[in-house]
């Protein structure tokens, strides 16, 4: 894949990036990847089983909303070829440094749930962990279609959603948008979006016929594997 947005060339702004981007930019700017202890951020518990059950050796995987790269690092260490995108350019830069320090190779770019900067049918899998609930419902719907656009035939998607009661203690800091998404307008998470999905909404978002598995972890995280 020869994409100009791969790291090494300038990261480009992408249409459709929401204002919440600034919240995430600032979050990652505040962390020094040169000194950060990466052992502190373990991969999502659902990832190892997903790899065993659904991925072939060396598969090409997109980590959408990669954040600090804890999941991508795990995948790269298992020998998968990993592409990471995040709405925050600072997150992509953080991951670049993480991979360099860990002597791993990967490709990093800025992009969004609704604008994935790669061609159709590029990846064997897309993972989007603890991320899709940080957009509006409209964005999430468009994103699922966008994930399917970049999946190769037979490819799989791994999605996780936080428990619906997350952020209960700081609900008073948020505005409720018309689709139920919380937009934090005060406090440490000012600018962040978070939508609390119930199970039926997740099923509707992905489409019943597309779901391969849907389970709850002991902490209440919903883990969905879909086509």
Ligand X SMILES: C[S@@+](CC[C@H](N)C(=O)[O-])C[C@H]1O[C@@H](n2cnc3c(N)ncnc32)[C@H](O)[C@@H]1O
Distance CA 208, CA 163 (A): 20
Choices 129-137, 167-175, 200-208, 216-224; region in contact with ligand X by CB under 6 A: 129-137
Q: Does 67 bind ligand X (CB under 6 A)?
A: yes
Q: Nearest approach, Cβ of 203 to ligand X (angstroms)?
A: 21
Query: Tokens 């919903």 map to which residue?
Result: 222
What's the sign of the alpha-carbon dihedral 12, 104, 31, 91? Answer: positive
Among 5, 24, 59, 60, binds ligand X (CB under 6 A): 24
Q: Does 18 bind ligand X (CB under 6 A)?
A: yes
Choices 80-88, 118-126, 172-180, 181-189; region in contact with ligand X by CB under 6 A: 80-88
Among 47, 55, 131, 182, binds ligand X (CB under 6 A): 131
Among 60, 61, 62, 65, binds ligand X (CB under 6 A): 65
126-154 exposure pattern, b = at least 16 Cβ within 10 A, e = fewer: bbbbbbbbbbbbebbbbbbebbbebbeee
Side-chain-side CA neighbours of residue 106 (13 Å):
35
Distance CA 216, CA 199 (A): 10
Q: Does 50 bind ligand X (CB under 6 A)?
A: no
Of 84, 13, 80, whose CA–CA distance to 50 is shortest? Answer: 80
Among 102, 130, 142, 212, binds ligand X (CB under 6 A): 130
Q: Which residues contribute to the site for ligand X (CB under 6 A)?
A: 18, 20, 24, 44, 65-68, 70-71, 86-88, 91, 112-113, 129-131, 134-135
């Amino acid at each position: 894949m020869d994409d100009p947005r791969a790291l090494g060339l300038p990261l480009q702004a992408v249409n459709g990036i929401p204002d919440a981007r600034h919240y995430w930019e600032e979050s990652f700017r505040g962390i020094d990847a040169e000194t950060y202890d990466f052992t502190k951020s373990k991969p999502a518990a659902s990832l190892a089983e997903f790899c065993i059950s659904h991925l072939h050796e060396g598969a090409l995987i997109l980590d959408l909303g990669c954040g600090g790269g804890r999941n991508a690092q795990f995948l790269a260490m298992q020998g998968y070829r990993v592409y990471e995108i995040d709405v925050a350019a600072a997150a992509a830069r953080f991951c670049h440094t993480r991979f360099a320090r860990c002597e791993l190779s990967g490709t990093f770019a800025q992009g969004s749930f609704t604008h994935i900067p790669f061609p159709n049918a590029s990846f064997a899998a897309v993972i989007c962990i603890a991320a899709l609930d940080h957009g509006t419902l409209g964005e999430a719907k468009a994103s699922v279609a966008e994930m399917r656009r970049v999946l190769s035939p037979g490819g799989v998607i791994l999605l996780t959603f936080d428990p619906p009661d997350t952020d209960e203690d700081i609900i008073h800091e948020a505005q409720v948008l018309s689709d139920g998404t919380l937009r934090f307008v005060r406090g440490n998470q000012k600018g962040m979006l978070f939508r609390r999905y119930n199970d039926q909404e997740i099923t509707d978002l992905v489409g019943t016929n597309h779901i391969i598995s849907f389970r709850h972890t002991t902490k209440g995280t919903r883990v969905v594997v879909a086509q």
